[in-house]
Amino acid sequence: MNRVALVAAVLAVGAAQAFYLPGLAPVNYCLKGVMDENKCQSSVPLYVNRLNSEESIIPYEYAHFDFCQATEKPDTIVENLGQVVFGERIQPSPYSIEFMKNQNCVKVCSKSYKTSDKEDKKKLNDLKRAMNLNYYHHWIVDNMPVTWCYQVDGGNVFCATGHPVGCFVDAGYRRKDACVMDARYKERNTYYLFNHVDLNITYHSGDNENWGNAFSGAGGRILSVRVTLRSIKHNQGGGKEACESQEVMGIPSDFKEDVTVTYTYSVMFSKSNTDIRWSSRWDYILDSMPHTNIQWFSILNSLVIVLFLSGMVAMIMLRTLHKDIARYNQIDAGEDAHEEYGWKLVHGDVFRPPRRGMLLSVLVGSGTQVFIMTLITLFFACLGFLSPANRGALMTCAMVLYVCLGFPAGYVAARLYKSFGGEKWKTNVLLTSMLCPGVVFGLFFIMNLMLWYKGSSAAIPFTTLLALLSLWFLVSVPLTFVGSFFGYRKRCLENPVRTNQIPRQIPEQSMYTRPLPGIIMGGVLPFGCIFIQLFFILNSIWSSQTYYMFGFLFLVFLILVVTCSETTVLLCYFHLCAEDYHWWWRSFLTSGCTAFYLFIYCIHYFFSKLSIHGVVSTMLYFGYTLIMVFLFFVLTGTIGFIACFWFVRKIYSVVKVD
């Protein structure tokens, strides 16, 4: 079995790489003189995105800070729904680049800040705050992030998908990461603004791609764009010699003198000497992530242990159940006095409708919707259709699927509620379509108000908010009503045994078979399946790292489903053997308790891995965490409930009951 698990894990990793699809068609670039003869373009547009920081969850648009702005606005950049929800704001930049044209020390603009002007003080304070909180630029060229590469511990090279605005040296000579790179940044209580960038653009020659002789040597496709940052106090004379100054652009924290900042850039094109093809150009970014260069053996070992343990649990359950069923069915009719013992003893109460059956059916219906959405989204992500190159595609796919899966949510909730003997089907369908989406939207709207107040780019525009509400009320709600209509019209599920009119008294339970200890223990094993991948997912959300290991994630999700199912079934069997027939809610909460451990881990991650400052940023972190934990609770709870529901119906259908 260990070999089978190992092969499955390796195949999952291979799927994440072999089926990688860039998501967009390549763009051919060429010299300005030949672009009419070949379908290519000579201009290489550079776009700017939002600025964000690991020390503050509040991102801002590029225009929020007093940087150089584009004078001519090209075609409108269309952003998909996922990009808008994630807070991406792609805009044209003032940097002008032509393919294979090297440029040296090109001036973009100059900004002057006078001590007597309050508006200038505010603009400069915004820049200082951005440097103090380590805000990062995010630039895009040819749909590739402009990367900032530097050496980390051990001599490895880390390429970040962004570069800092500047750095700050405080009174204790403590310097930010960017300031450590250059010994000239040493004056205390001083801000060093990176006002000059050197762009190194690597391209793949056309003759290596078989584009034709006319295009050979005159064009190519861009492979990477790397930036080198410098803080320069430019000479007043300007010109090429202006960027050769070794004096840094230091801004004192007290701001007692007028400040003038000149922004410049240089561009150098270099032909790639390797065999890297355009379709693999993201590899150098993904391979250099500091925490994605993981110990593969450790993850594979964890997956093998979980699979082995799941197999052992399944084997024990099958053997024990086989013996129980054989004993029950082989007892003679004359031994009725000794016939019923163990889990068979509660056959007359095991299908008694639970308390608050309305809420349980609603949660299970919503959990079914989340489960199908997650399964389909991860499947497409494994095939590469939701790759990092296709920005916002993952979130767009998830939201569209969730909206369109209102039908199964209404159907499952209605059928389950009808099996409980419920008659308020209108209330059931309203709660199914409103409760879980309402909780998520309510938390999201509160956090959106905070972002609006802060002027953040992550604040959803009013028109987009209306679009989300339209998708909810005009698509998801009607589909939920249709699913509920068909589900309630179906014949009620017939239980394999009859339910007694008088409830049986439950004997006193031991500490291990009581509800709370069983629920708490039930979430440990499923959480053990996901906590490794959870670390990388949280890094991608809060540390601006690119997540691409969808093969592993899909495999871990399948293991999570199996583990939640088997753990819930095992504990349900023990409780039935202890003559406790209240399994409905317990099965949902047992696997749903995994979300509790997820919340504890997110708290640990907040205090141990992040250095977030500010009350609003802290509230935003825990607000988004609550949304994630709530959806995960509904998802895992539904998995455990459906598995236990199938298990209980199965075992009582094969045993003879008078």
Query: Strand order in 166-169's β-sheet?
Result: 166-169, 190-193, 250-252
Assess whether pLDDT exceeds 70 at residue 257.
yes
Among candidates 577, 614, 571, 573, which has minimal Cα distance to 591?
571
Q: Poorest-confidence range of 83-87, 425-429, 522-526? A: 83-87
Answer yes or no: are the C-beta atoms of 639 and 591 closer than 8 Å.
yes
Question: CA neighbours within 13 Å on the CB side: how many for 406?
Answer: 26
Answer yes or no: are the C-beta atoms of 362 and 431 closer than 8 Å.
yes
Among candidates 645, 39, 34, which has minimal Cα distance to 357?
645
The Cα 555–Cα 632 span in angstroms is 17
Answer yes or no: are the C-beta atoms of 167 and 187 closer than 8 Å.
no
Whole-number pLDDT of residue 517: 82
The Cα 373–Cα 125 span in angstroms is 44
Burial class (CB in 10 A: 0-12, 13-18, 19+), 441: middle
Query: With bands split at pLDDT 50, 70 and 90, how would you rate the model's confidence at 635?
Result: very high
Among candidates 525, 531, 643, 542, which has minimal Cα distance to 587?
643
Which residues are CB-neighbours of 501 under 8 A, at least 6 positions away? none
Whole-number pLDDT of residue 382: 86
Burial class (CB in 10 A: 0-12, 13-18, 19+), 429: buried
User: What are the φ and ψ backbone dihedral angles of 509, each rounded to 5 degrees?
Assistant: -100, 155
Mapping DSSP to helix (H, G, I), strand (E, B) and coil, where does residue 615 land? helix
Q: Poorest-confidence range of 173-187, 209-223, 340-354, 621-635? A: 209-223
- Which residue type, as a one-letter code, is found at position 111? K
Which residues are CB-neighbours of 151 under 8 A, at least 6 positions away? 157, 158
Answer yes or no: are the C-beta atoms of 167 and 178 closer than 8 Å.
yes
What are the tokens at 7? 């092969």
Q: What is the DSSP letter of 257?
A: S
Assess whether pLDDT exceeds 70 at residue 298.
no
Answer yes or no: are the C-beta atoms of 265 and 95 closer than 8 Å.
yes
- Which residue type, as a one-letter code, is found at position 248? V
Q: Which helix (H) or strand (E) holds 436?
A: helix 425-454
Answer yes or no: are the C-beta atoms of 206 and 128 closer than 8 Å.
no
Give long-range contacts, CB 8 A cutoff, 24+ apart: 308-317. 308/1, 308/2, 308/5, 309/525, 310/559, 310/562, 310/563, 310/566, 311/1, 313/566, 313/567, 313/570, 314/566, 317/566, 317/569, 317/570, 317/573
Beta bridge partners of 148: 160
Sign of CA dihedral 407, 589, 430, 86: negative
Q: What is the DSSP string of 266-288?
A: EEEEEE--S---GGGTTHHHHHT
Query: With bands split at pLDDT 50, 70 and 90, how would you rate the model's confidence at 384?
Result: confident
Q: Percent of the chain having pLDDT more than 70?
A: 81
- Which residue type, as a one-letter code, is found at position 154? G
Which residues are CB-neighbours of 299 under 8 A, at least 6 positions away? 9, 532, 552
Q: How many CB atoms lie within 10 A of CB 444?
A: 17
Name the pTM for this structure: 0.86
Assess whether pLDDT exceeds 50 at residue 380.
yes
Q: How many CB atoms lie within 10 A of CB 481?
A: 18
Mapping DSSP to helix (H, G, I), strand (E, B) and coil, where does residue 188 land? coil
Query: With bands split at pLDDT 50, 70 and 90, how would you rate the model's confidence at 293?
Result: very low
Question: CA neighbours within 13 Å on the CB side: how many for 632?
Answer: 22
How large is the average pLDDT for residues 262-284? 82
Size of the chain in residues: 658
Among candidates 2, 651, 646, which has minimal Cα distance to 312?
2
DSSP E strand stretches across 389-506 = none
Each residue's pLDDT tens digit, 208-239: 444 444 445 567 888 889 999 988 887 655 44
Whole-number pLDDT of residue 425: 85
What are the tokens at 66? 């007093």
Whole-number pLDDT of residue 523: 87
Q: Which helix (H) or strand (E) holds 221?
A: strand 219-230
Chain-centroid distance, C-alpha 390: 14
Answer yes or no: are the C-beta atoms of 197 and 185 closer than 8 Å.
no
The Cα 406–Cα 411 span in angstroms is 9
Query: With bands split at pLDDT 50, 70 and 90, how would you rate the model's confidence at 421?
Result: confident
Answer yes or no: are the C-beta atoms of 592 and 642 closer than 8 Å.
no
Q: Poorest-confidence range of 112-116, 493-497, 520-524? A: 493-497
The Cα 248–Cα 533 span in angstroms is 42
Burial class (CB in 10 A: 0-12, 13-18, 19+), 630: middle
Assess whether pLDDT exceeds 50 at residue 6.
no
Top pLDDT among 322 and 411 is at 411
Helix, strand, coil shares of the chain as percentages rounded to 5? 50, 15, 35
Assess whether pLDDT exceeds 50 at residue 295.
no
Top pLDDT among 163 and 4 is at 163
Instruction: From residue 419, give the alpha-carbon distance in Å to each of 358, 424, 426, 479, 649.
Output: 11, 12, 16, 21, 13
Answer yes or no: are the C-beta atoms of 152 and 123 closer than 8 Å.
no
Query: With bands split at pLDDT 50, 70 and 90, how would you rate the model's confidence at 250?
Result: confident
Which residues are CB-neighbours of 23 under 8 A, at least 6 positions away? 384, 385, 386, 387, 389, 390, 393
Each residue's pLDDT tens digit, 138-195: 999 988 889 888 776 666 777 788 899 988 887 655 555 666 666 777 777 888 899 9
Q: Poorest-confidence range of 119-123, 313-317, 383-387, 639-643? A: 313-317
Sign of CA dihedral 47, 51, 53, 57: negative
Q: What is the DSSP string of 101-167?
A: --EEEEEEEEEEE-TT-HHHHHHHHHHHHHHHTT-EE-EEETTEEPBEEEE-GGG-EEEESSEESEE
Q: What is the DSSP letter of 495?
A: P
